[in-house]
A and B are shown apart, each in its own frame.
Chain A
Amino acid sequence: MVVLMRAVTRVLAVLLLVALSDTHASLQDTPAAGVQVVEISAERFSFTPSEIRVRAGTRLELRLRSDDTTHGFHIIGTDIDIELPKRGRGTTTVEFQPKAGRYTFECSQLCGAGHEFMRGVIIATE
């Protein structure tokens, strides 16, 4: 039992270190001047990354894909509300150029019992 607990503790410690070493957003090299690409994956019940920090006015190219069922991507307070096809059926791209502020995004396609937890934020600073 003691051996087991030690093993479990070690595994959790390693996973915690992995988690703490992570960055906010998956930012890629810009394919065109002034465009910042962010790849976002959606799975029940989270977006990864769920926090994206950019400079206000940056043209964002959000490349979204689902790792399981159909999800939605809605940036609250904007007209952006798209459907992400199921796993293996491609990536959806949406462009967004935020002014300074915080933009909450959420899954807008009911995807399961934890659907309401599926939210994230884009933080655009001056």
Chain B
Amino acid sequence: MTPLLGYRAVSRLLAPVATLLLLATSPALAQTPERPAAARRESRTNLSGYMDFHYNKVEFTDGRLDFHRFVLLVTHSFSDRIRFVGELELEHALVEGLEDAGELELEQAYVDFLLHRSFNVRAGMMLMPIGIINERHEPPMYYGVERPFVDTVIIPTTWFETGVGVHGEVGRGWRYRAFVAAPLNAAEFSAGEGVRGGSQKGSESNIGRAAVTGRLEYVGRRGLTLGASAWSGHSGFEFRPRFDVPVSVVAADARYSRNRLELRGQFAHVAIEHADQLNDALARRVGVDPNIARAMRGFYGEAGYRVISGARFGDVGAFARYENFDTQFRMPAGAVRLPQFDRDAFVVGANFWPDPDVAVKVDYSIVRNRSAFIQAPNSLNIGLGWWF
């Protein structure tokens, strides 16, 4: 039987953290040339947050008003070198027992030990550093009412797990993050939503075999961000020792903004080994073959332009985005590919910013799939998002 918590794994994770914690609190290190001696800052606490209020009219259904996200962030500086960051999110306004309602999630709760610009240690509940949106999802920051489809069904934003890792900037605008974290749970994967259901979300997470993830990012030129991300983990802990399910996610993204123009693009690929055995095991468990693919893929490109910028009443921007996402991209031997999950989306719309931290958004999503029988619905979306 796989232990719920691997003592060896935990020991391996905690040993370096404990050592670095001692170093971070050491007076000797605090006087290194990194920071010339001066008055130490008072500790302090900050509260912030963002909200997302949506109207969604999906074709063939009644419109819905949804208070999609209510998020509070709190940070506390114990000192210049030790910081806490917490993020608590209420989704869809209501949380009820076992019903299909909202979620109350602890998306971030970590302590940063800031040792050196190029090497810092983080431990707790952390965002996985994959793609654009997962770490940058404050509503005024992006075009469109809902997050891109690729950032929903290929990269399962908001993707957060418990773990420990390091991050830093190595010079000339290059920075990295590398974390060891709890793996996804393959028993929760699906044909239509990919690995999205697999996040353990830090709730008594199985870490018998920890996952590793990292991101290399370039931010050295004004307006330009380039990123490459990867995640690798063994997600079959519910099926070991019979078989395991190694999963890997790779993504590349780019953003560029200059004056009124903003361009962004992203590519993401998910590989699931032993998907055939996973389908067999889940079919025996629930009676239906989940038809999980061995590879999923998605990409998008988006262009936005601030038609009005600097006006007294605010800014107005228009955008267009093309997305392609397929959660049945490559199937295991013997499985039938479901064409309704090979989808394209054309999203066009506009943002109005009466304040840089408040965005009124409207968009129309045209979704197409490869199925001759099952039609993907289009949708009209109107949203109000703000950051404070």
Contact = CB atoms under 8 A, between A and B. Distances in A.
Interface of A: 4, 8, 11-12, 15-16, 18-19, 22, 24, 26, 41, 44-46, 48-51, 67-70, 74, 76-79, 86-88, 99, 101-104, 109-117, 119-121
Contacts of B46: 109-110
A6 B48 CA distance: 43
A121 B116 CA distance: 11
Given A51-B172, A79-B39, A101-B36, 15 more contacts: A8-B252, A12-B254, A18-B221, A22-B172, A41-B222, A74-B41, A77-B36, A77-B38, A110-B73, A112-B141, A115-B75, A116-B83, A116-B85, A120-B169, A121-B117
B137 A113 contact: yes
B219 A50 contact: yes
A76 B35 contact: yes
B138 interface: yes
24 contacts: A15-B254, A22-B221, A44-B141, A48-B221, A48-B222, A48-B223, A50-B169, A68-B140, A68-B356, A69-B357, A69-B387, A70-B357, A74-B41, A76-B35, A77-B36, A88-B309, A102-B33, A103-B35, A112-B136, A114-B135, A114-B136, A116-B83, A117-B175, A119-B169
B356 A86 contact: yes
Contacts, number: 131
A77 B218 contact: no
A32 B88 CA distance: 49
Contacts of B34: 102, 104
Interface in B21-49: 33-39, 41, 46-48
Contacts of B80: 76-77
Among B35, B107, B167, which residue has the most Cβ atoms of chain A within 10 A? B35
Nearest to B135: A114
Nearest to B34: A102
Given A45-B136, A102-B33, A112-B138, A78 B221 contact: no
Interface string B154-178: 0000000000000101011101000
Given A19-B224, A68-B356, A69-B356, A48 B219 contact: yes
B48 A110 contact: yes
Contacts of B138: 44, 69, 112-113
Contacts of B315: 88
B226 A113 contact: no
Classify the interface of chain B: helix, strand, loop or mixed.
strand
Among B222, B252, B256, B299, which residue has the most Cβ atoms of chain A within 10 A? B222
Contacts of A69: 138, 140, 356-357, 387
B378 interface: no
B87 A113 contact: yes
A44 B171 CA distance: 18
Contacts of B223: 48, 67
Interface size class of B (residues with CB under 8 A): 35 or more
Contacts of A18: 221, 224
Nearest to B252: A12
Given A15-B254, A110-B48, A115-B85, A77 B175 contact: no
Contacts of B247: none
B226 A119 contact: no
Interface in B119-141: 127, 135-138, 140-141
Interface in B295-320: 299, 309-310, 315
B267 interface: yes
A12 B87 contact: no
Nearest to B47: A110
Interface in B68-121: 73, 75, 80, 83, 85, 87, 107-108, 112, 117
Contacts of A112: 73, 136, 138, 141, 387
B207 to A, nearest CB: 23
A99 B36 CA distance: 9
B220 interface: yes
Among B218, B219, B387, which residue has the most Cβ atoms of chain A within 10 A? B219
Given A19-B220, A50-B220, A113 B136 contact: yes
A80 B172 CA distance: 24
Closest 3 CB pairs of A and B: A77-B38, A46-B219, A86-B356
